[in-house]
Structure 1
Amino acid sequence: MWFKVKKTHYFPHTVHYCFSSMPRLSETRRFLQSSSSLNCDDLLSNAAEKKSIEEVLAGAELAPAQCLWTTEASGSVQLRMDELCPEQPITVHQMFTNSVQKYGKLTALASKRGNKWEKVTFSEYYHLSRMAAKGFLKLGLEQFHSVAILGFNSAEWFIAAVGTVFAGGIMAGIYTTNSPDACLYVAKDSRANVIVVENQKQLDKILQLPHLKAIVQYSGSLKEKLPNFYSWEEFMGLGLEVSDQELDEVISSQKANQCCALIYTSGTTGSPKGVMLSHDNITWTAHHASRAGDMQPAEIRQESLVSYLPLSHIAAQIYDLWTGIQWGEQVSFAQPDALKGSLVDTLREVTPTAHMGVPRVWEKIMEKIKEGISRCGYMKRKLVTWAMSVSLEANQRLTKYKSFLFTLADSLVLQKLHAELGISNCVKFFSGAAPIGNETLQFFLGLNIWLYEAYGMSESSGPHFMSGPKAYRFSSCGKVVPGCRYKLVNVDADGIGEVCFWGRNVFMGFLNLEDKTKEALDEDGWLRSGDLGKVDEDGFLYITGRIKELIITAGGENVAPLSIEDAVKQELPIISNAMLIGDKRKFLSMLLTLKCTINPETTEPTDILSLGAVEFCQRHGSQSTKVSDIIGGKDKIVYQSIEEGIARVNSKATSNAQRIQKWTIIGKDFSIVGGELGPTMKLRRPVVLQMYHSEIESFYRE
């Protein structure tokens, strides 16, 4: 089963795996029973030194380091430990063993196979991660080389990630929407020894890579049996050939200030950058940021959540994977078509206690709910509208006291809506990865759903500011995570400046990119966010824009596009995306797209207007039902309505330079498939500027 891996020009020591589904629970237990160490306490003791669990959990000594940053995968860094965050650093393995001691018998992972949910306890999860680690060691994974994981969220994704770290490697997620070239870039940049893929679709991308060594696939059957192709079961079986002592020696050599994870940026403004995160980055953030959001340890109440956002993004990875281990949470995996419509089915079955979405997901949920309400009969529609208005008014007061009317609206209408959405047990709702609009926040307050914003970046291991039940202000990102620091630099007369971060969550550096790392960190080691914001007297942060997105007109006027774009979308509910143009231009212009239905198979926008968009047309006297009915000035009624809406936005502008002078409607909505949106549905402005160059230039022709 074992083979020698030879160096290649493209991938030194590279082995590739493909998996798609976890072995069924009976097979899981077969693996555990085949292991020489069934007793969890035995596994938690170091085979070489026989350390007690108390000594193991006391924290590993740190690797020597002379600097706060490094760009080498094998490098180590000084930790930003001070009186605000003095906690003893620990490795991922130490965090996991601590959790197994406390939560070993609780369910950790749940995967639906057919009509049945198969569950894995924390003790089994830990054992499986060790088996995966030993499998990686058997196949030649070298210390500080990566395992790149390409697939939708699954128990195998988690086990491969944790197993990689246990084996001394560096885990690196790859977006499932990546092109073969983008996959190649990450694999080369991260020095991948191993590539794990989910299914045939992702396998086809990997097969285009040169010098393929091995593949493991667990869903369906391989098209043809080739040398060094493994099923997931075969791969896990390799671990039986590696002793616990060999693995424990690797684990005991790990230090909390060394790299164990790579998060690749989306590459919107250039090639993706590998954000190096240390054991301490992950374990400290999983502990502190989650508590800022009021996530509870399982000994108080086991949290339950549904994993569906891309794990290659820091938001989902820290929330689903690492925090799940830290606090003993039950993570249930959605189906791969979650964002095509099946997510609500999973939510109804799981009824999670907490749920996270990116702004675009919350917007889509809002649109679906609005469509559902519009289909109701007159009396029911009136009842829902009344209940939402009562809830919005009550929640905007920010008081604990709720009126009788609110209690009535909640019991008669809102609780039933929550049950239909599968969130009847959910008490915490989070939004992250991008700014969320006020319209969306207000809509969900009307449903008695408070969306708690998290603000941070990959380079801060996720959230640096958090909203939560104890720290909430409308449209604010909340307060700084306890143990972290912030400062505003280059503050203007309005109190707005660039937000900078300091804390144990600040990254090690960009892999192999010294110049970029020095750009990101100032001379004192503060992380520059590139975001503009202000902080109120109570410590709540409000993001006002992004420095790189700041438009500086030909007349020298600084314009933050986000607030203007949000105002247009709020004024005109037919608009899906709005992008402001005007950098180095004489005036502002705007690209608009219309809300439309999505092809459930391809996730591409169709030509059919959404129900809400059709209703907008009808309210203004138009009979249009398609995007093509409107664009190019065909529907003068809709064009006039949009013109009037933009005029209302312009009437609130602080100066003439802040007014939108020209606009046009693009024939197709922006999408991930189309390239205008990134994996977390964030607008990729440089891409849009290139794609619609001719439309933009037409605005400024004399």
Structure 2
Amino acid sequence: MQTPNGISHDKHMNGPDQIVPADSYFTSVPGDHVKLRVTSRGLGSEPPISVPGLLTRTTARYPDATALATKKADGKWHKITYKQYQERVRIAAKGFLKLGLERYHSVGILGFNSEQWFIADLAAIHAGGYAAGIYTTNSADACYHCLLSSRANICAVQDKKQLDKVLSVRHKLQHLKAIIQWEGPVDTSIPGLYSWEQLMEMGAQEPDTQLNNVLKSIAVNECCTLVYTSGTVGPPKAVMLSHDNLTWDAFSIGERCQDLKPTEDRLISFLPLSHVAAQVVDIYTTLSNAVPVFFAQPDALKGSLVETLKEVRPTRFLAVPRVWEKMYEKIMSVGASSGYIKKQIALWAKDKGLKHHLARINGVEGSSFGYKIAKSLVFNKVHESLGLNHCSTFVTAAAPLSPEIKKFFLSLDVPIVDAFGMSEAAGAHTLSIYPKFSLDSAGELLEGTETKFGGATSPNGPGEIMMRGRHVFMGYLNDDAKTKDAVDDEGWLHSGDIGRVDSNNLLYITGRIKELLITAGGENVAPVLIEQTVQAELLNVGYAVLIGDRRKFLAVLLTLKAKVNSETGEALDDLEVEARKWVASLGSSATKISEIVEKKDPVVYKAIEEGIARANKHAISNAQKIQKFAILPADFSVPSGELGPTLKIKRNVVYEKYKDIIEDFYKD
């Protein structure tokens, strides 16, 4: 057995949980091994385990427990046990090997969260390859980049829509040998295209010999998964994550959630699995702790998620900020249509809820008779309507969530805690568990990890958050220069974020180096906090993007909340229901964004101006006050390019798309 660089590892055949000797903590070479930062005590001393080893261990402990559940066309939830899960992973792995998957080559996975996604991911790893998730929103060119750079031998696609992307670039992919389609009719006339059923039939007919030999060659300290960054500058980088990166970070997350109940807890998988947060939570933390996973429908983020929540009643719920914001808008909409008595009861209950939780956060016993009544009269009903009445952990991740939104949910007995991390840290570096959190922190540092902050001589400037531990990645695939830029000689991963830690081990992010605006007067401005303040004052603003780098003053681009095309996900010209009500309350008859922008609707623009004036009262200096604003002609969306797959703003895209409007701010 040889790696692509010709190094023989024939003598290392005690896998999959073996550790192959290595000289460095980092590499960019496929097939290389790295040193592990195993400590002598604490969580960092947990014995390393491979992904196949983890599946074997959990299957041995809970063979008949539910692992995965899928709602099919008959309207019923179809479940598979851990024993069936492992069997299907092994069969798919044998199928991949039969189709020509080579060691340290990838299986690209392009589709919505499903049983097949999970099985393809683990099967690729069992067969000695890399699992490489690809965002369903990627263009054909972006898919080509991922498949080419990962030397994909196989690509698993959900349906014809994703298949067509791969077929359009297939002629340029020299390593690609087969495509697997797991949903919809398969065109048998296309060479090298197989259905999921054909893959499984093929694998079932293969003996175990080759697969078992490959498993013996696997090591905990080699790469098993590639996560592509959503980079707004240049093509995405392939983050190499080892078995130990993923299984240890999942273990650490599980230890922070000390009351996880194997086989009893429930989680819904709906965030893109090509994103590291969804992978480490949905695939690995659940596997590590035998937590059943229920798959949402593909249109979850377009509206069906709440129905799945009501059916499954998850006990743990991880969402990105936009999901929490949508829930907030829905609750506000329902509240606005309530009668006077209901509104007064809700206001009283929210006051009791907020005081109760703020007391607990501050270390004071918060329970009271009033809180218990509020819980019975209001909170339980709100939770049930959201499908969160069995949920004990509410987490936000992938981007900052406004403290005002968190405060609102806290008043409704929903304490949303933070997790912070990055692809290069296998997902999570912090995770808060109630009541040890704060409304404006990014979460409590995970045990077993190390954190420090850049000093005056740091390459990226003072205050940069740096991380070290078993969760820090191996390197960027085939990119030694960028790997060395990301990690220094002492093994510290440079996050690009600026922050601090308080006495409770809570991390606070005060800015992002790449997003930091430096005005013409030399003032450093962190945009996110100012943007959140504007959004808190103007609840019907969809997104706010601060402008002002190397400029004389700050300005802001705003979108108004719009209805969304349920099929494409594109933002429409029609105002969202609550935004329309707000506009009407101002005295405007506009129902479309274009009507407001083209006519510069005076009452709407005046209301925006007043909201910005209120936001400016929070500014720490005159240089951090917004002087001008513009309402953009359309709300942001993934299809139009301003948002990434996890609904984070792609600032560079916004700057380029609206450069003329930006220049107009500064013409005078």
1:155 aligns with 2:120: no
Deviation string, structure 1 residues 210-241 (Cα, Å, up to 9, x no partner): 33643332323124533332221111111123
Distance across 2 between alignment mates of 1:227 and 1:577: 46
Deviation string, structure 1 residues 373-400 (Cα, Å, up to 9, x no partner): 2233333333333322321232222244
Distance across 2 between alignment mates of 1:208 and 1:295: 48
SS at match of 2:645: coil
Distance across 1 between alignment mates of 2:367 and 2:36: 46
Deviation string, structure 1 residues 571-616 (Cα, Å, up to 9, x no partner): 1112110001111111111101011221212211122222322333
Match of 2:657 in 1: 691
Match of 2:305 in 1: 343
Alignment of 1:58-207 (within 5 A): 60-83=17-40, 84=42, 85-114=44-73, 115-207=75-167
SS at match of 2:169: coil
Distance across 2 between alignment mates of 1:277 and 1:652: 42
Distance across 2 between alignment mates of 1:344 and 1:491: 48
Alignment of 1:446-525 (within 5 A): 446-469=411-434, 471-490=436-455, 497-525=463-491
1:303 deviates by: 1.5
SS at match of 1:344: helix
1:541 aligns with 2:479: no
1:654 deviates by: 2.0
1:628 aligns with 2:594: yes
1:626 deviates by: 2.3
1:413 aligns with 2:378: yes
1:628 deviates by: 2.2
Match of 1:428 in 2: 393
Match of 1:584 in 2: 550
> Counterpart of 1:497 in structure 2: which amino acid?
G
1:86 deviates by: 1.8
Give unmatched runs, 5+ long, in structure 1: 1-47
Match of 1:639 in 2: 605
> Counterpart of 2:234 in structure 1: which amino acid?
G
1:260 aligns with 2:224: yes
1:242 aligns with 2:242: no
Match of 1:274 in 2: 238
> Counterpart of 2:596 in structure 1: which amino acid?
I
1:362 aligns with 2:324: yes
Distance across 2 between alignment mates of 1:531 and 1:491: 15
Alpha carbons 1:91, 1:256 under 8 Å: kept: yes
Distance across 2 between alignment mates of 1:236 and 1:129: 10
Distance across 2 between alignment mates of 1:165 and 1:297: 27
1:617 deviates by: 2.6
SS at match of 1:347: helix
Are the structure 2 counterparts of residues 295 and 309 from structure 1 closer, same or farther at C-alpha, using a change threshold of 3 Å?
farther
Distance across 1 between alignment mates of 2:347 and 2:189: 59
Alignment of 1:577-616 (within 5 A): 577-616=543-582
Distance across 2 between alignment mates of 1:648 and 1:417: 31
Deviation string, structure 1 residues 457-495 (Cα, Å, up to 9, x no partner): 000001111111353222212221111110011379xx9
SS at match of 1:473: coil
Are the structure 2 counterparts of residues 382 and 610 from structure 1 closer, same or farther at C-alpha, using a change threshold of 3 Å?
farther
Out of 339, 355, 358, the residue aligned to residue 377 of structure 1 is 339
Are the structure 2 counterparts of residues 633 and 267 from structure 1 closer, same or farther at C-alpha, using a change threshold of 3 Å?
same
Alpha carbons 1:532, 1:544 under 8 Å: kept: yes
Are the structure 2 counterparts of residues 454 and 204 from structure 1 closer, same or farther at C-alpha, using a change threshold of 3 Å?
same
1:291 deviates by: 2.2
SS at match of 2:470: coil
Are the structure 2 counterparts of residues 210 and 219 from structure 1 closer, same or farther at C-alpha, using a change threshold of 3 Å?
closer
Matched-pair identity in %: 48
Are the structure 2 counterparts of residues 295 and 250 from structure 1 closer, same or farther at C-alpha, using a change threshold of 3 Å?
farther
1:635 deviates by: 1.6
SS at match of 1:462: coil
SS at match of 1:612: helix
Alpha carbons 1:265, 1:458 under 8 Å: kept: yes
Are the structure 2 counterparts of residues 634 and 554 from structure 1 closer, same or farther at C-alpha, using a change threshold of 3 Å?
closer
> Counterpart of 2:351 in structure 1: which amino acid?
S
Match of 1:675 in 2: 641
SS at match of 1:679: coil
1:318 aligns with 2:280: yes
TM-score for both structures, normalised by structure 1:
0.89
1:663 aligns with 2:629: yes
1:136 deviates by: 0.6
Match of 1:34 in 2: none
Distance across 2 between alignment mates of 1:696 and 1:547: 21
Deviation string, structure 1 residues 307-335 (Cα, Å, up to 9, x no partner): 00000000011110111111101000001
> Counterpart of 1:106 in structure 2: which amino acid?
A
Distance across 2 between alignment mates of 1:378 and 1:470: 33
Out of 520, 543, 559, the residue aligned to residue 525 of structure 2 is 559
Alpha carbons 1:573, 1:616 under 8 Å: kept: no
Are the structure 2 counterparts of residues 315 and 414 from structure 1 closer, same or farther at C-alpha, using a change threshold of 3 Å?
same
Distance across 2 between alignment mates of 1:130 and 1:470: 42
1:526 aligns with 2:496: no
Alpha carbons 1:314, 1:461 under 8 Å: kept: yes
1:496 deviates by: 7.4
Distance across 1 between alignment mates of 2:409 and 2:590: 29
Alpha carbons 1:429, 1:452 under 8 Å: kept: yes
Alpha carbons 1:275, 1:458 under 8 Å: kept: yes
Distance across 2 between alignment mates of 1:360 and 1:571: 17
Match of 1:24 in 2: none
Alpha carbons 1:633, 1:639 under 8 Å: kept: no
Match of 2:6 in 1: none
Distance across 2 between alignment mates of 1:367 and 1:326: 35
1:447 deviates by: 1.6
Distance across 2 between alignment mates of 1:295 and 1:582: 46
Alpha carbons 2:266, 2:315 under 8 Å: kept: yes
SS at match of 2:421: strand
TM-score for both structures, normalised by structure 2:
0.93
Match of 1:402 in 2: 367
Are the structure 2 counterparts of residues 382 and 470 from structure 1 closer, same or farther at C-alpha, using a change threshold of 3 Å?
closer
1:290 deviates by: 2.8
The RMSD of aligned alpha carbons is 2.0
SS at match of 2:451: strand
Distance across 2 between alignment mates of 1:559 and 1:293: 35
SS at match of 2:514: helix
> Counterpart of 1:94 in structure 2: which amino acid?
G
Deviation string, structure 1 residues 253-272 (Cα, Å, up to 9, x no partner): 11000000000001212110
> Counterpart of 1:286 in structure 2: which amino acid?
A
Match of 1:569 in 2: 535
Distance across 2 between alignment mates of 1:530 and 1:409: 43
Distance across 2 between alignment mates of 1:162 and 1:224: 26
